Chain A
Amino acid sequence: MKRLGKVWTVIVYLFLYLPMIVLFVGSFNDGRDLSEFEGFTLSNYVTLFRDTDSLALLLNSVILAVSSALLATLIGTFAAVGIHSMRGRIRSLVMTVTNIPLVNPEIVTGVSLSLLFVFVGRGLLHTENVLGFTTLLIAHVTFNLPYVILSVMPKLRQMDNQLMDAAQDLGCTPVQGFFKVVLPELWPGIISGAIMAFTMSLDDFVISYFVYGNSFVTLPVEIYTNTRKQMPPKFYAMFTLMFFVILVVMILMNVIQARDESKQKRRVKGA
């Protein structure tokens, strides 16, 4: 029975990671066809790093992911602080409103944002070309916000509410108190929120598809719109690299969380 359980676990993980393994192997395959391994090569990687067009698209995606994650983290952190200071009933109402975009189908979010941008563009700015980096950024910040708020809120709840009183008691203005006492308590939540926002933004296609303009195209949009043709193997190389970057980031995030949790535990024991 125990052995069966182990075998089952292996099967589950194989199922989860087999596609990645195929991609990984494919990225070193010397040949266009994935069904046949024609020998080991690094040529896909070489092609990738020489292909300035694809790299530019990747750079676009990273720029968008970083800027939208930073903005969402900034806005989301302050939003969380604001929500936390609300009274019980209003707070739970606001939290429900915050959570709805998380479960809203992406295509609905995408289409409605697109309609809004076109409406604002034509009606208020009198331009047909409103879609571009700005609209992408606004859209990404919008869908990233709830993730940041949700990862900062628990830190606020764990925090002793008297810390802010204590800071002011010792001479801090409310703003000083926030930066010197509250912010250090929120850091782990803020960082994990930012990382989550970054990864969500980096690979978003559905929402981006409806709000991008020709002036600024991201990598996922370009790839999806071109999948009818056969995918060049250089992308296998790129995806393999992306997978490992995300993997490292996720491991880092888990380490931070684990350290934070053991700290919390010690604190509970000490009190």
Chain B
Amino acid sequence: MSKELIRLVNCRMDFDGETVLDSINIYFNDSEFLTLLGPSGCGKTTTLRIIGGFLQPTSGDVFFDGVRINDVPPHKRRVNTVFQKYALFPHLNVYENIAFGLRIAKVPNKEIDERVTEMLEIVSLRGFEKRKPDQLSGGQQQRVAIARALVNRPKVLLLDEPLGALDLRLRKDMQNELKRIQQQLGITFIYVTHDQEEALAMSDTVVVMDKGRIQQIGTPEDIYNEPKNAFVADFIGESNILDGIMRADYVVEIFGRKFRCLDRGFEPNEPVDVVIRPEDVDIVPADSGHLCGTVTSVTFKGVHYDTIVDFKGFKWLIQTTDLHRPGEYIGIKLTPNDIHVMKKSAYSGMFGDYSSYSAEYDEINDPDAVIGGEETVEEALNNEE
């Protein structure tokens, strides 16, 4: 296992008496691609700024390589940042922007030239040395910002929603590019985003945050398949979240019927949240189903149909490749693999009911989306793909 590089212990951050981070405990391993994921205002950028040294936690400790660095100013930390709006220096050309950190460190000119040229190669910007930042496209500025940070050979690169300002196409390209650079250089990347798809696609580890607290830490697969609570289940992908009762180890009761599952360790008859992913449900004829319900609406999404089914007043989202017409009475089959049981939490009952379903469900779940704004259009495009 790779070694631990950064650790936050009980970090708390208050702004004007408002708690934006609440007892954050987390560690970052060497050469890891870790993503802080959450809606805006969840504290992910604050966490990043604490690591960068731009903020000091109200209480708690920050360790780098085992040394407490709470009081170490940003310019003495071995981390570099790619800022949200790039923050390139407008009066310097591309070459001098990238060389900036090396010049401050008084690296000999010859070495500066070699390292800047090498970085330009890595971010494919050879021939742009003399351009000023305002003569570059958004994607090119983004790559200069990455080169400017990486040329200093930091142990850790912090990225604050670096792809947020790019259009969808460019964003996908840059995702691959970033992942490639990270693997090529073997540097720890700490990446902040509110885009769950981006987080799942790029990360080794995902940290899901909400309301200043860490909700779950895990691999993308863990986070998706074994969400800890209703918030995580809903924020990452689509989920039907039902009330259930744990009758015994490996047995959960939903809608008065007992289902076999893979979860254990609950109190007998403990109320729980049950997550069923829309793509895991099999639709079968009504007479052979475990549960039966009526289709209320169908939306064509390209790869699949979003089918809303009413089970005794509770509406499920089911994604199938077969078309079922509204009004049709159908049955569903669930295997133990399809059922995931979670402990009740503060988020129980807030998510996972599709009674107010709209074809644009991503908008509802994305608190950052502005109706009619760019993101909505992109999300819509996303769904069409």
> Are A184 and B136 closer than 8 Å at their CB atoms?
no
Partner of B89, one of A163, A173, A263, A271: A163
**Complex interface bits, B49-84 against A, C-beta within 8 A gives 1, otherwise 0:** 000111000000000000000000111000111011
Binding site for B on A (CB under 8 A): 160, 162-163, 165-173, 176, 180-181, 184-185, 263, 266-267, 269-271
Stretch at the interface among B97-105, B291-299, B317-325, B344-352: B97-105
- Please classify the interface of chain B as helix (H, G, I), strand (E, B), loop, or mixed, using the class held by over half of its residues: mixed
> Are B91 and A270 closer than 8 Å at their CB atoms?
no
> Are B80 and A169 closer than 8 Å at their CB atoms?
yes
Closest B residue to A171 using CB positions: B104
A171-B152, A172-B104, A181-B89 known; 5 new pairs, CB 8 Å cut-off, are A163-B89, A165-B81, A168-B53, A168-B74, A170-B152
Q: Chain B residues near A185 (CB, 8 Å)?
A: 90-91
Partner of A163, one of B54, B87, B138: B87
Binding site for A on B (CB under 8 A): 52-54, 73-75, 79-81, 83-85, 87-91, 100-101, 104-105, 133-138, 141, 148-149, 152
> Are A270 and B136 closer than 8 Å at their CB atoms?
yes
**Given A170-B104, A172-B75, A270-B133: A165 and B89 within 8 A (CB)?**
no
Q: How far is the CA of A163 from the CA of B138 in the complex (A)?
A: 17
Closest B residue to A161 using CB positions: B87
Q: Top 6 A-B pairs ranked by shortest CB distance?
A: A170-B101, A162-B87, A166-B87, A171-B104, A184-B91, A267-B134
Number of A-B contacts (CB under 8 A): 74
Closest B residue to A269 using CB positions: B134
> Are A165 and B74 closer than 8 Å at their CB atoms?
yes
> Are A168 and B73 closer than 8 Å at their CB atoms?
yes
Q: How far is the CA of A165 from the CA of B100 in the complex (A)?
A: 14
Q: Chain A residues near B89 (CB, 8 Å)?
A: 163, 166-167, 181, 184
Closest B residue to A168 using CB positions: B74
Q: What are 17 contact pairs spanning A and B, CB under 8 A?
A: A160-B87, A162-B83, A165-B52, A166-B83, A166-B87, A166-B88, A167-B89, A167-B100, A169-B79, A170-B104, A170-B152, A171-B75, A180-B100, A184-B89, A267-B90, A270-B135, A271-B138
Distance in Å: Cβ of B111 to nearest Cβ of chain A: 15
Q: Chain B residues near A181 (CB, 8 Å)?
A: 89
Q: Chain A residues near B85 (CB, 8 Å)?
A: 160, 162, 271
Most B-side CB within 10 Å, residue of A167, A170, A173, A185: A170
Distance in Å: Cβ of A212 to nearest Cβ of chain B: 42
Distance in Å: Cβ of A240 to nearest Cβ of chain B: 39
